[in-house]
Amino acid sequence: MFVLLGLMLEWYLLPIFVAPLILSVLAPFIDTPQGKKQGKLIYHSPLFITEREKNGKIIIHGGTLFDYYYLIDRNWKAKQRIRYILRQYILGLVKLTESYNENEAAEITLEGTSYILNERTAQKLGFTKKRTDILQQIILTYNYLQILLANSLAKNKLSFPAVGKVNTYTASLSTIKRNKNYLKKLAEKLRD
């Protein structure tokens, strides 16, 4: 692909196209540890990260390529990997709910964008689907190579994520807090 692109363009323009791809893959190896160190990102489980609460809203994220690379056992089969990832997401949600009392939780909304989670599962967890804004779609498209690598690590094979089918989900933290027992049981079922 790069060779074809290089032939079509002048060779000196190639770095303009290659640099963003390289930066998108390397970013989580630098940005996430730095964000954690500065207190901007909080790990509630090894694969569940939130941004610090701001104006009553907490943005949630799954693990980064960095996390997937170092935490997923290469000997696991695809199903074991997916179960581990989902379990870490759920355990992270549980830990997040434990960080706030009921009054605080009532004032906080969670929001996250996913290309993995379907609407039915999200509803079971206490989330509702909302329209994904264009900026979030642009960010996901820019990070496609990083998402492709993480998705492939998760599924133990080359796996192209359907970024065009991304969904944004939202929930009040108090709703998730009320689902805590269900979440704990679900996490236990996902244990290998």
SS3 for 166? Answer: coil
pLDDT of the residue at 161: 87
- Per-residue pLDDT tens digits for 88-146: 999 999 999 999 999 999 999 999 998 778 899 899 999 999 999 999 888 888 888 88
Q: What is the pLDDT of residues 53-85, one digit of tens each?
A: 999 999 999 998 889 999 999 999 999 999 999
Q: How far is CA 44 from CA 13, 47, 48, 52, 150, in A?
A: 42, 8, 6, 12, 19
How distant is the alpha carbon of residue 157 from its chain centre? 19
Averaged confidence pLDDT in the chain: 88
Burial class (CB within 10 angstroms; exposed 0-12, middle 13-18, buried 19+) of 164: exposed
Contact 97, 58 (CB under 8 A): no
